[in-house]
Amino acid sequence: MQSRLTFDYRNATAQAVGPENGVSKTMLDGVAGKVRAEHARLQREHAAGAQRWMDLPDNTALAGEINDFANANRGSYSDYILIGIGGSSLGAIATVMALGHPYRNLLSAEKRGGPRLFVLDNPDPEKVKATLDVVDLKNTLVNVVTKSGQTAETMANFLVARNALEAAVGEKQAAKQIVATTDPKEGLLRQMADAEGYRTFPVPPGVDGRQTVLSAVGLLPAAFCGVDIDGMLAGAAAMRARCTSDDVFENPAYLLAALAVLADQKLGKKMLVTMPYSDALYGIADWFRQLWAESLGKRLSIDGEEVFAGQTPIKALGAIDQHSQIQLYTEGPNDKLLSLIEVDRYRAEVEVTGVPANIPDLAYLEGAEMGQLIDRECSATAWALTQAKRPNFTITVPEIDAGIVGEFFYLHQLQTVMAGALYGVNPFGQPGVEAGKNATYALMGREGYEGLRKELTAKPADGGEYTLAPN
Ligand code: PA5
């Protein structure tokens, strides 16, 4: 398979939007050496056994195992509850959103070709209860996904779902309807899975949660929903093959990384907006938002200096956000770089007809194809942003399919790793998230977190009153 994405970054250049807002050739030349050196470092690290996420597209044996399991079990379940949060669910959500029917859960089982998919990520009691209200527990597969095996939200959701399942089908049968995707050796969920005899799939060691979409974390739910996971891996491999050059002008992942980091550091573009003109690709914008934020938002540089790095990722949806955000993006603070995603051929053709003859001002819509309309809106937005000197680039998708989704996943992961190198931060790990996770454990009374609990529940030193409650 060949990579099929097209990149057009003319509107992000100084020629298009002026030297205060656009990246110049000189600026790109200025980072070309660093990109080359960092590329060589990544290659060396990979050869030495690190950067394991780069190998995930090759895991066709795992994909085969997942396909066998999904093919054998898909027909047995009406519902699939995916329990996981952040990197443990966003990739699967993005995949099924991109490749499944937009109203997949409402289709008949036959048309759907697999169970309905429900995701328990947030531990919002209303959503948890509502999910358990609508699924048919006797015919539900529960897939709990956590790399660490102990995330509070995930484990709480899982325990609640497991109780409901046991109440519906009994303990023994419940254990057969649970699949745990977790570390092969470590963690609390691994202990539980081994003790209860759950079927398990591995979260690859040495790969951060947000880079696991091409492992069992993303592939298992996708396969159950009928996604061509081999095609996804092939697309990711095709993008990897396209990204072998160390030349910033040749390698699309490095070019996007350089554009974003230069726009942030040299031009004050502190935000990166990803705006697909496709409902189906909105999940990819959401997945990328987490990847970019958690990987690059770092207080310390790799040398241990305080740098407070990162660029705030924003997701927007074309054309809807033309009626919501674009006013701000075009006339508000010029502090954003925009990435527009355009689709050449939508998977449906819908023609507008029936314009009343007595309303000539609507005549331009008669016979218009909707894909053409939304596509022209994307071009029009790119033009309007450029006129307003707002840097933007466009990624063009020929047609949304499994290969293209795989391409996006690999592209954005490499782009993020190179952006980390250009910022001089470690894109792996998430110390800021861990702080919040630990505080949650402490507030919930987890053993071993007593000191932190004391600190968190201490009264403010000045004894002041800062809350407003209704009388
Ligand atoms: O990218 C990451 O590592 C995080 O977003 C994790 O995926 C998230 O915090 C969930 O962690 P876990 O899979 O350990 O439950």
* Pair 259, 376 in one domain: yes
Among the three residues 423, 443, 460, which one is the final residue of a domain in this structure?
423
> How far is it, in rounded angstroms, from Cα 353 to Cα 285?
32
* Pair 173, 263 in one domain: no
Instruction: Please name the residue ranges forming H helices in 74-199.
Output: 90-99, 109-112, 125-134, 152-169, 171-176, 188-196
* Residue 433 alpha carbon, nearest atom of ligand 1: 9
> How far is it, in rounded angstroms, from Cα 391 to Cα 445?
48
* Pair 222, 199 in one domain: yes
Contact 217, 145 (CB under 8 A): yes
Q: Which residues are catalytic?
A: 294, 323, 437
Is residue 450 assigned to a domain?
A: no
> How far is it, in rounded angstroms, from Cα 146 to Cα 181?
6
Coil/strand/helix, residue 415: helix
Is residue 451 assigned to a domain?
A: no
Q: How many domains in the chain?
A: 2
The confidence score (pLDDT) of residue 466 equals 77
Residue 313 has pLDDT above 70, yes or no: yes
Q: What angle do CA 340, 341, 347 make, to 5 degrees?
A: 150
Q: Which of 145, 148, 183, 295 to mutate to test the pocket of ligand 1 (most atoms within 8 A of CB)?
A: 148
Ligand 1 binding pocket includes 213 (Cβ within 6 Å): no
Among the three residues 408, 423, 438, which one is the final residue of a domain in this structure?
423
The confidence score (pLDDT) of residue 463 equals 65
Task: Tell me the percentage of the chain whose pLDDT exceeds 70.
Answer: 99
Ligand 1 centroid vs 281 CA: distance in angstroms? 22
> How far is it, in rounded angstroms, from Cα 306 to Cα 7?
34
* Pair 225, 344 in one domain: no
Ligand 1 centroid vs 310 CA: distance in angstroms? 19
* Pair 23, 35 in one domain: yes
- Model confidence band, residue 179 (pLDDT cutoffs 50, 70, 90): very high
User: Virtual CA dihedral for 289, 294, 298, 303, nearest 10 degrees?
Assistant: -120
Ligand 1 centroid vs 166 CA: distance in angstroms? 27
* Pair 198, 267 in one domain: no
Is residue 73 assigned to a domain?
A: yes
Ligand 1 centroid vs 187 CA: distance in angstroms? 13
Residue 432 has pLDDT above 90, yes or no: no
Coil/strand/helix, residue 95: helix
Ligand 1 binding pocket includes 151 (Cβ within 6 Å): yes
Is residue 452 assigned to a domain?
A: no
Residue 124 has pLDDT above 80, yes or no: yes
Q: Cα–chain-centroid distance for residue 197? A: 31
Sign, Cα dihedral of 302, 307, 310, 311: negative
**Cβ neighbours, 10 Å, residue 380:** 12
Query: Once rounded to an integer, what is the mean pLDDT over residues 138-166?
Result: 97
> How far is it, in rounded angstroms, from Cα 406 to Cα 60?
13
To the nearest whole number, what is the mean pLDDT of the chain? Answer: 96
Residue 56 has pLDDT above 70, yes or no: yes
- Model confidence band, residue 417 (pLDDT cutoffs 50, 70, 90): very high
Is residue 453 assigned to a domain?
A: no
Ligand 1 binding pocket includes 21 (Cβ within 6 Å): no
- 36, burial (CB in 10 Å: exposed 0-12, middle 13-18, buried 19+): middle
The confidence score (pLDDT) of residue 458 equals 84
* Domain boundaries, position 311: 6-46+233-423
* Residue 84 alpha carbon, nearest atom of ligand 1: 15
- Model confidence band, residue 469 (pLDDT cutoffs 50, 70, 90): confident
Q: Whose CA is nearest to atom 8 of ligand 1?
A: 86
Is-cis flag, bond preceding 319, omega within 30? yes
Is residue 379 assigned to a domain?
A: yes
Q: Which of 83, 88, 183 to mutate to test the pocket of ligand 1 (most atoms within 8 A of CB)?
A: 88
Residue 455 has pLDDT above 80, yes or no: yes
* Pair 240, 302 in one domain: yes
Ligand 1 binding pocket includes 415 (Cβ within 6 Å): no
* Residue 145 alpha carbon, nearest atom of ligand 1: 13
Ligand 1 centroid vs 260 CA: distance in angstroms? 25
Identify the CATH number of the domain in which residue 300 sits: 3.40.50.10490
Is residue 84 assigned to a domain?
A: yes
> How far is it, in rounded angstroms, from Cα 440 to Cα 420?
28
* Pair 110, 14 in one domain: no
Q: Whose CA is nearest to atom 12 of ligand 1?
A: 146
> How far is it, in rounded angstroms, from Cα 471 to Cα 462?
24
Could you tell me whether strands 312-315 and 271-276 are parallel, antiparallel, or unpaired per DSSP bridges? parallel
Q: What is the pLDDT of residues 363-376, one digit of tens each?
A: 999 999 999 999 99
Q: Which of 151, 182, 183, 215 to mutate to test the pocket of ligand 1 (most atoms within 8 A of CB)?
A: 151
Is residue 456 assigned to a domain?
A: no
* Pair 213, 289 in one domain: no
Ligand 1 centroid vs 429 CA: distance in angstroms? 10
Which of 59, 108, 6 is CA-nearest to residue 220?
59
* Residue 208 alpha carbon, nearest atom of ligand 1: 3
Q: Whose CA is nearest to atom 15 of ligand 1?
A: 146
Residue burial 60-98, b: 16+ Cβ < 10 Å; e: rest: eebbebbbebbeebbeebbbbbbbbbbbbbbbbbbbbbb
Ligand 1 binding pocket includes 116 (Cβ within 6 Å): no
The confidence score (pLDDT) of residue 470 equals 86
The pair phi, psi for residue 358, each rounded to 5°, is -85, 5
Query: Once rounded to an integer, what is the mean pLDDT over residues 456-470?
Result: 77
Residue 461 has pLDDT above 80, yes or no: no
* Pair 147, 99 in one domain: yes
CA dist 264 to 38, 273, 274, 465, Å?
A: 19, 12, 15, 39
Could you tell me whether strands 6-8 and 392-399 are parallel, antiparallel, or unpaired per DSSP bridges? antiparallel
pTM: 0.96
Residue 437 has pLDDT above 90, yes or no: no
Ligand 1 centroid vs 368 CA: distance in angstroms? 45
* Pair 137, 240 in one domain: no
Q: Whose CA is nearest to atom 7 of ligand 1?
A: 87
The confidence score (pLDDT) of residue 324 equals 97
Ligand 1 centroid vs 127 CA: distance in angstroms? 20
* Residue 154 alpha carbon, nearest atom of ligand 1: 15
Ligand 1 binding pocket includes 147 (Cβ within 6 Å): yes
Largest CA distance in the chain: 75
* Pair 297, 333 in one domain: yes
Ligand 1 binding pocket includes 430 (Cβ within 6 Å): yes
Ligand 1 binding pocket includes 87 (Cβ within 6 Å): yes
Helix-strand-coil split of the chain, %, nearest 5: 55, 15, 30
Among the three residues 229, 260, 292, which one is the final residue of a domain in this structure?
229
Ligand 1 centroid vs 381 CA: distance in angstroms? 35
User: How many residues comprise the chain?
Assistant: 471
Ligand 1 binding pocket includes 211 (Cβ within 6 Å): no
Which of 427, 449, 424, 425 is CA-nearest to residue 436?
449
* Residue 86 alpha carbon, nearest atom of ligand 1: 5
